Chains A and B, each alone.
Chain A
Amino acid sequence: MRASVGSTGRQLPANKEATTRGIPGGAPRKQGMIADVGIRIAKIDLPGIGVRHDLVTEGGHRVSVVSQRNGDRSIGIIDDDDEDTCRASIALSDDEAAALADVLGASVMLSRLTSLSDETTGLYTEQIALPTDSPYLNRPLGDTKARTRTRCSIVAIMRDGTIIPSPTPTDVLRPGDLIVVVGTREGLDGVEKLLANGPG
């Protein structure tokens, strides 16, 4: 049986028991969001077929994602009573897999945004409407130098009911844009002023 443990893409020395039995919380702490909560994903080679990634949840349930070489992929749910047995295996098409990943990713991002408004962290999320007379109207986001000037991050732009997540410095600001910013109280005030009046 070959098993290697990888979390956030990094390979750790294989520890067969911990890998396959998947002890949550037993993972060494590493940088980044994923390591912080002790998530352990085991990568298991299936020779001739493809690769499998196993995730053991905090509740002790095991979920497998099988990626076959021929492009087929499926999600497997492991029986809680018998950890060797797969209770259900669901095949996913390319589009379905992408859609599922999007839904999960988006829900995580949303909950992260809302949890950031927790007072104890001192970080706030705010939606700032771009003033109609803003000097940055129809100019790229990078021109605001918001991060350097205010130490705030612009995490998304909402425009016409759609969302532009993680905008790049080249994304152009348009009239009516709602800008989602994360930062300290002071910093957010600074962004508001910056967008209204420009630097200085």
Chain B
Amino acid sequence: MHDTTLLLIEVGALLLAMSALGRLATWLGLSPIPFYLLLGLCFGQGGAVQLGASIEFIQAGSEIGIVLLLALLGLEYTAAELIGGLRTSRRAGLLDAVLNALPGAALALLLGWGPVAAVTLAGVTWVSSSGVISKLIGDLGRLPNRETPVILSVLVMEDLAMAFYLPVLSAIAAGVAFLQGAITVGIAVAMVTVILVVALRYGHLVSRLFPADHYEPLLLGVLGLTMLIAGLAAKASVSAAVGAFLVGIAISGKVAENANQALTPLRDLFAALFFVFFGIVTDSSSLWSMVLPALALAAVTIATKVLTGIYAAHQAGIGPLGRWRTGMSLTPRGEFSIIIAGLAVTSGIVPAALAPLATTYVLITILAGTILARMPDAPWFRARVAHHT
């Protein structure tokens, strides 16, 4: 009884603080993700305040947060869009993977953290934040721009690649033997492929399981199926996140649209808790020692991301200014980087310092990326680009 009272007080105060920070972020034109991470740091090991009763709740909430983040990402894409993206931007996607994953892996090896940390950091630096970027494009009124489909198709490729990367990471982070790991990865790849094909051919049948027009059964049904599949996927060490993503893709049409609306508030709540929780488990005492490596890593991977964007836009026949916009818009990393780092750190197989590194890195790229994305609109920038062409 006493515990639940304390839980209400702690969670309530936490949510209020998050709301205030969210407003501050909106006012600054930034994503709230860095603010949630920083708030979490205040409550963590070496932080200012210790949370008591609510920590288990936040932990459970953060698990649901990952599942919902991925499920809604899946709901936003149709299987046809994913296949189409695969067909048209394969080369840009490959370049993106090579250019942006290598610096992360290199830093991990340089710090002597071992191969698992290298694979983890490669993922952290590889994937841009589709959430932050699509919000940014909308806010800057760039949806009608010619480069916008190019940016989005790079994001689609990355998100799709995650469906294969996360099971691999889960397998190696679980420390399974090579043969068993290979089997797990094989299962995951087969599952992802099968679900994509099923979603493409029979998506309407899967969707028929749920009533599109009845809010409550729809909400409970989609949430239930997502959590169930995510749990089963985790049990098969394929990663809960991927299971949720695939459920999202398999559901289509009106059901997907309405489920998206119904689940969005839940996603916002639990995803925010996830970012706070990641902050909490981050050891803030080693935060300062990670600032320099994070800065260096951010500088390199922002440059490689800009290069990726310029290449992709060039392939699509976009002009010089549009190429810069593509590159600079792609620089923020966000939810996926944190999910990847979280997955590895909670398994305990990588050094704990990876969490503060990822936090600082995401913070820097979101801050820098938000500023960089606006830069091509500046008169001096336009004048320079015009001058060079």
Contacts and interface: CB of A to CB of B under 8 A. Distances in A.
Given A84-B145, A86-B142, A1 B150 contact: yes
Contacts of A3: 149
Interface string A73-88: 0101110001111101
B141 A48 contact: no
A86 B144 contact: yes
A75 to B, nearest CB: 8
Given A84-B322, A85-B321, A47 B147 contact: no
B89 interface: yes
A66 B143 contact: yes
B260 interface: yes
B85 interface: yes
Contact of B257 (A66, A69, A88): A69
B389 to A, nearest CB: 11
Contacts of A125: none
Interface string B323-334: 001000000000
A66 to B, nearest CB: 4
B143 A16 contact: no
B152 interface: yes
A83 B319 contact: yes
A2 interface: yes
Q: Interface residue tally of chain A, by bracket?
A: 20 to 34
Interface string A57-81: 0000000101011100010111000
Given A3-B149, A47-B81, A48-B134, A17 B144 contact: no
B270 to A, nearest CB: 20
A47 B317 contact: no
Given A16-B317, A84-B319, A84-B321, A47 B156 contact: yes
A49 B321 contact: no
Interface string B132-151: 00100010011111111110
A46 B85 contact: no
Contacts, number: 99
B88 A78 contact: no
A46 B78 CA distance: 11
B153 interface: yes
B165 interface: no
B321 to A, nearest CB: 6
A20 B147 CA distance: 11
Contacts of B78: 47
A47 B144 contact: no
B146 A20 contact: yes
A46 B261 CA distance: 19
Interface residues of B, number: 37
Contacts of A157: none
Given A2-B88, A47-B156, A48-B155, A85 B150 contact: no
A49 B144 contact: no
Contacts of B283: none
A177 interface: no
30 contacts: A2-B85, A2-B88, A2-B149, A3-B149, A16-B317, A17-B317, A20-B146, A45-B81, A46-B149, A47-B76, A47-B77, A47-B78, A47-B152, A47-B153, A47-B155, A48-B73, A48-B81, A48-B155, A52-B144, A52-B149, A66-B144, A74-B141, A76-B143, A77-B144, A84-B147, A84-B318, A84-B322, A86-B142, A88-B141, A89-B143
Interface of A: 1-3, 16-17, 20, 44-49, 52, 54, 64, 66, 68-70, 74, 76-78, 82-86, 88-89
Given A64-B144, A76-B143, A78-B144, 19 more contacts: A1-B153, A3-B149, A16-B317, A45-B84, A45-B149, A46-B149, A47-B84, A47-B85, A49-B134, A52-B143, A52-B149, A66-B143, A82-B319, A82-B321, A84-B145, A85-B321, A86-B143, A89-B143, A89-B144
Shortest beta-carbon contacts, A-B, top 7? A76-B144, A89-B141, A84-B322, A64-B144, A1-B316, A47-B81, A86-B144
